[in-house]
Amino acid sequence: MMIPILVAMVLITSQGQINVGEEFNASITVTDANDLAAFQIDLSYSNLEIVKVSRGNAIKNWSIFDFDTISSNKIRVIAAKFGEESIGEGEILNLVLRAKENTGVLSLDGILSDSNGNKIDAMFGNLSVDILTTQPESTYTQPIITPVMEEKGSQPNEVVEHWIVGYWYVIVLILIGVGIGVWKWRT
């Protein structure tokens, strides 16, 4: 006869896609943990920043709750109850995280124990979050070309004067050209 062995599960849930720099929540829950009275959970993370760690609803009345950074990308959370009711399942941690780049990964490891100090066999889950790079929307606008007639002067008479002066330059150039031609013809 085979006897099923029940193993507690410690899982992380969160939304699947986050924008760079955006904060989001993650929930860590335990299931199938008969008489859970204490735990130590190590959270390893990459491409994420842990902004806040707080108790989950299932352990909100437990006497001991603390966490500390144990390396540049790892924190350790401990919690225990003294006289309070032990739990079998529920939310044990709430996290607020900030997305950095690429894919954010949060991995769990740890120890669960019952009210007699015995180890509870457990499997620990991981979380992978797609971090999207936000790019500004294209703001290209088709240029509009408007022809503008440029006036040489601000008064109508000045425009006429510029035209007349320009006209005389053309006449002088023609006469010079004719003069050079006549001179070459005579020589």
Residue 63 has pLDDT above 70, yes or no: yes
Binned at pLDDT 50, 70 and 90, residue 159 comes out as very low
Q: Please give the torsion angle defined by the CA atoms of residues 133, 139, 140 and 142, in that order, rounded to the nearest 10 degrees.
A: 160
The pLDDT value given to residue 130 = 82
How is the chain split into domains, by residue range? 8-132, 151-187
141 or 59, which is more confident: 59
Higher pLDDT, 167 or 99: 99
pLDDT band at residue 160 under the 50/70/90 scheme? very low
Tell me: domain 8-132, CATH 2.60.40.680, correct?
Answer: yes
Please determine, for residue 156, whether its predicted confidence score (pLDDT) is greater than 60: no
Distance, CA of 181 to CA of 166 (rounded, Å): 23
Section 157-186 average pLDDT? 56
Mean pLDDT of 51-77: 94
The 3-class secondary structure across the chain, one letter per residue, is CCCCCCCEEEEEEECCEEECCCEEEEEEEEECCCCEEEEEEEEEEECEEEEEEEECHHHCCCCEEEEEEEECCEEEEEEECCCCCCECCEEEEEEEEEECCCEEEEEEEEEEEECCCCEECEEECEEEEEEECCCCCCCCCCCCCCCCCCCCCCCHHHHHHHHHHHHHHHHHHHHHHHHHHHHHHHC
Residues with Cβ < 8 Å from 50, sequence gap 6 or more?
43, 75, 95, 96, 97
Above pLDDT 70, what percent of the chain?
67
Of 48-52, 85-89, 127-131, 154-158, which range is least confident?
A: 154-158
What does the alpha-carbon distance between residue 1 and residue 5 come to, in Å, rounded to a whole number?
13
- Global pTM reads 0.66
Residue 17 or 135, more confident:
17
Q: Model confidence at 111, in pLDDT bands (50, 70, 90)?
A: very high
